[in-house]
């Protein structure tokens, strides 16, 4: 449903043609047309209502089809495609011939739809007409630049990101440590700021950071990359695999950056990424102000005249980098994100959810609807739990406090209260002793309050501070025996002729 929402946004908010939408999202053009038609028939506009989740949207767009057992004969689509190349042959004529052979076959509208769906998947030649403010091409240079660590002398290679505007060839370049997703997204954000606006379309190659599944026909975009496109209101249309002409503009831009910037820096030694980017920025200014060889003007002049007035304005805030994960909800209604556990409503136990993770927050979505939001924590193995996510029984447990537990124990006696307090004091967190304390107090129902009080007194005397020790004392009847201190005292008071006493040896 996220892809359906994106189709509707690109169609009604950006006004893109079906072909461009299909290339941006990696779906067939017929699929785009089908979704738009279904939305129109269902009376769905844009923007979608805020309370419409994925399940409701799917129900409106894809109602259960009526049951039908009729199997209609399929037209010979490859033959139709071949016959249409003949002079004077039309789909109307071919449909009439099809119906003459198969009277129970498809009607004309469905016949045409089947052919268009099939022909839309064919490899058609493409030609780009770069209009002002329409397209940005992005790629990495094949050449890297070494950076030396001043302290250790270690050499690390920096990647070079290049972005070029389609109409003016106005160029942006910067160095990053890697081609990973955070650097890829960050370079896009800084390129848009350099251009002081955004184009309608961004055409990348098929890097792993931006395109999760490169494919000539249906590339899948990284969810974070798609989020960035939504934030800046642009469409991402990757170049086809092994089709460099689809991004010839940035290929030329990369070549210029390598020749006019990186080649001039080949004999310089850089000790930081910032130092390298400052040098690239100085030479980039010269490149954009350098006159064309075969055209009048410069890249900057064309940018000022063509691209800049046509660019869409930047949003108020730059895109905040976020990663998408798809964790499962454990039986304790928590999901694990980078070693920390965050709660979700307990009804989602054993479900799969989508988690959007930024540097400050963790947002959790179920079927496109946000169900939880937490401040991000770096404490591994710990839990962040919201009370409203718990079952009622667990919420009551959360309201327990050490003083409340001791208060309950005092109803049995002071020894029981002292033992319960000692159990909680010996734990790193008092809450970890709640279960043991409840077990000790529950023994009073089985053995009686007086026996429990005597058992707790003995447990304190022998330093047996645990539920199992108290239970053992009750079961074995040790609570009836005198305490060790009392037994020693009684032994010292025995009067017998054979007992000489300590004064005998003086």
C-alpha–C-alpha distance, residues 216 and 238, integer Å: 9
R_g (Cα) of the chain, nearest Å? 37
Please compute the mean of the pLDDT values over residues 418-441 and round it to a whole number: 79
C-alpha–C-alpha distance, residues 44 and 230, integer Å: 20
pLDDT of 65 strictly over 70: no
- Judge residue 276's burial from the number of C-beta atoms within 10 Å of its C-beta, 0-12 exposed, 13-18 middle, 19 or more buried: buried
Strand partners, 235: 201
CB 181 within 8 Å of CB 284? no
pLDDT of 350 strictly over 90: no
Domains of the chain: 2-62+73-119 (no CATH), 135-310 (3.30.420.10), 323-396 (no CATH), 400-491 (no CATH)
* Angle subtended by helix axes 449-461 and 434-447, to nearest 10: 130
pLDDT of 38 strictly over 50: yes
**What pLDDT score was predicted for residue 193?**
93
Prior bond of 47 cis (ω within 30°): yes
pLDDT of 499 strictly over 50: yes
The pLDDT confidence band at residue 29, using thresholds 50, 70 and 90, is: confident
Q: Starting at the edge strand that comes first in sequence, how are the strands of the sheet with 334-337 ordered?
A: 334-337, 340-343, 383-384
Q: Name which residue leads in pLDDT, 119 or 287.
A: 287
The pLDDT confidence band at residue 270, using thresholds 50, 70 and 90, is: very high
**What pLDDT score was predicted for residue 147?**
92
One DSSP character per residue, 288-334 reads: HTSBPSSSSSBHHHHIIIIIHHHSBPPPSSPPPP-EEE-PBPPTTSE
User: Which pTM does this prediction carry?
Assistant: 0.49
240: tokens are: 């086809």
Determine phi and psi for 359, rounding to 5 degrees: -70, -20
Residue recorded with tokens 């963790």: 362
CB 292 within 8 Å of CB 298? yes
pLDDT tens, residue by residue, 104-129: 889 999 889 988 887 776 543 333 44
**What pLDDT score was predicted for residue 219?**
45
Name which of 158, 209, 221 is nearest 182 in CA terms.
Answer: 209
């Amino acid at each position: 449903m996220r892809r359906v929402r994106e189709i509707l946004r690109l169609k009604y908010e950006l006004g893109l043609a079906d072909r461009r939408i299909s290339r941006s999202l990696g779906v067939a053009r017929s699929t785009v047309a089908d979704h738009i038609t279904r939305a129109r028939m269902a009376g769905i506009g844009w923007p979608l209502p805020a309370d419409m989740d994925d399940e409701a949207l799917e129900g409106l767009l894809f109602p259960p089809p009526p049951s039908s057992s009729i199997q209609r004969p399929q037209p010979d689509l490859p033959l139709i495609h071949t016959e249409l190349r003949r002079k004077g042959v039309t789909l109307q004529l071919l449909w009439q011939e099809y119906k003459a052979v198969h009277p129970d076959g498809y009607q004309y509208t469905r016949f045409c739809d089947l052919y268009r769906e099939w022909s839309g998947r064919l490899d058609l030649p493409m030609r780009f007409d770069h209009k002002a403010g329409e397209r940005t091409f992005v790629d990495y240079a094949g050449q890297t630049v070494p950076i030396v660590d001043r302290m250790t002398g270690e050499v690390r290679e920096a990647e070079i990101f290049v972005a070029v505007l389609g109409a003016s060839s106005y160029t942006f370049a910067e160095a990053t440590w890697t081609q990973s997703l955070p650097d890829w997204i960050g370079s896009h954000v800084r390129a848009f700021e350099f251009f002081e606006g955004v184009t309608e379309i961004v055409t990348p190659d098929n890097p792993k950071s931006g395109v999760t599944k490169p494919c000539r026909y249906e590339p899948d975009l990284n969810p974070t990359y798609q989020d960035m496109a939504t934030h800046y209101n642009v469409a991402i249309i990757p170049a086809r695999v092994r089709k460099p002409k689809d991004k010839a503009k940035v290929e030329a831009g990369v070549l210029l950056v390598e020749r006019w910037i990186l080649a001039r820096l080949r004999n310089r030694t850089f000790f930081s990424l910032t130092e390298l980017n400052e040098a690239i920025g100085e030479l980039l200014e010269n490149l954009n102000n350098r006159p064309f060889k075969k055209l009048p003007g410069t890249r900057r002049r064309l940018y000022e005249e063509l691209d800049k007035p046509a660019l869409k304005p930047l949003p108020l805030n730059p895109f905040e980098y976020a990663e998408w994960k798809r964790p499962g909800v454990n039986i304790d209604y928590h999901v694990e994100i980078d070693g920390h556990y965050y709660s979700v409503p307990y009804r989602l136990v054993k479900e799969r959810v989508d988690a959007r993770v930024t540097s400050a927050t963790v947002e959790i979505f179920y079927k496109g609807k946000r169900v939880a939001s937490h401040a991000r924590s770096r404490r591994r193995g710990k839990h962040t739990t919201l009370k409203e996510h718990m079952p009622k029984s667990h919420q009551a447990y959360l309201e327990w406090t050490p003083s409340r537990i001791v208060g309950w124990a005092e109803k049995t006696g002071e020894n029981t209260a002292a033992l319960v307090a000692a159990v909680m004091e010996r734990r790193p967190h008092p809450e970890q002793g709640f279960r043991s304390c409840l077990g000790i107090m529950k023994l009073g129902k089985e053995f009686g309050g007086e026996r429990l009080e005597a058992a707790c007194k003995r447990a304190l005397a022998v330093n047996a501070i645990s539920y199992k020790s108290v239970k053992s004392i009750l079961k074995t009847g040790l609570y009836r025996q005198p305490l060790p201190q009392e037994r020693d005292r009684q032994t010292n008071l025995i009067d017998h002729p054979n007992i000489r006493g300590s004064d005998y040896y003086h």
